[in-house]
Copies of this chain bind each other. A is one copy, B any other.
């Protein structure tokens, strides 16, 4: 007996009842859901932008390069916290580093982030449910 809660491969009973050719329908549905690899990449980027501290670091860099101590001041967080989030941002490719003596200067790799974030802010304002 097929179980409608089956995780993989099996079609839900409800779907089979709903359509004459469930397999064909399933194929189009799966296509609609898009490419999982793309979903992974987008989700990773959004994951990076899902941390308030990282967002604020990006904003602080909007007007140009900063060294770590400036960023540390801008976001008012301990040095190690700032450093590790900067590492995260550079790992993901959103931010670049440049070393100059003992100083490290960070900058934004692609100004497109700001367009993205601005748009996200707009959407958040429109959609967010007040609790």
Count, chain A residues at interface, CB 8 A: 79
**In chain A, residues 35-66, which have Cβ atoms closer than 8 Å to a Cβ of chain B?**
36, 38-47, 49-57, 59-60, 62-63, 66
Is there an interface contact between A128 and B15, defined as CB atoms closer than 8 Å? no
List the B side residues contacting A77 at CB < 8 Å: 7
> Any chain B CB within 8 A of the CB of A123?
yes
Q: Which of B39, B49, B60, B115 contacts A29 (CB 8 A)?
A: B60
Is there an interface contact between B129 and A91, defined as CB atoms closer than 8 Å? yes
Work out how many copies of this chain go into the complex.
2
Tell me whether A127 and B94 are in contact in the complex, defined as CB-CB below 8 angstroms, given that A43-B50, A59-B32 are known contacts: yes
List the B side residues contacting A4 at CB < 8 Å: 69, 79
List the B side residues contacting A99 at CB < 8 Å: none
Is there an interface contact between B120 and A42, defined as CB atoms closer than 8 Å? yes
Q: Which of B14, B25, B47, B124 contacts A44 (CB 8 A)?
A: B124
